[in-house]
Amino acid sequence: MREGLPAFARRVEGGIEIALRVVPGASRSEIVGPLGDRLKVRVGAPAERGRANRALLELLREWLGVRDVEIVAGHGSAQKTARVAGVDGWTPEPLRRLTS
């Protein structure tokens, strides 16, 4: 961990970015855990018309307990980057619990 963050997360101006590996069409949506330098996440929605991305954002918001989460890279890819805004100076507890 660096700066109190796991390897898949880094501080950026205004928040934290999280490198993700997303598996759409899973039987349920869940945070699987660290996978190399990414956080593996399964979402129940299929990868069509942005449904998996919306399900991912909903899952991340609930898991982290924040409202301001957006996908900033990889919209059409399994490898994505999400930015969590408004967490300057602190690390959400779910991120602190994960180590790589």
Q: Give the DSSP letter string of 26-63.
A: -SS-EEEEEETTEEEEE-SS-SSTTHHHHHHHHHHHHH
Span 46-78, pLDDT tens digits: 999 999 999 999 999 999 989 999 999 999 999
Span 20-48, pLDDT tens digits: 999 999 999 999 999 999 999 999 999 99
- Contact by Cβ (8 Å): 52, 24: yes
This prediction has a pTM of: 0.89
List, in order of start, the domains of the chain with CATH numbers.
18-85 (3.30.1200.10)
53: left (phi over 0), alpha (psi -120 to 50) or beta: alpha
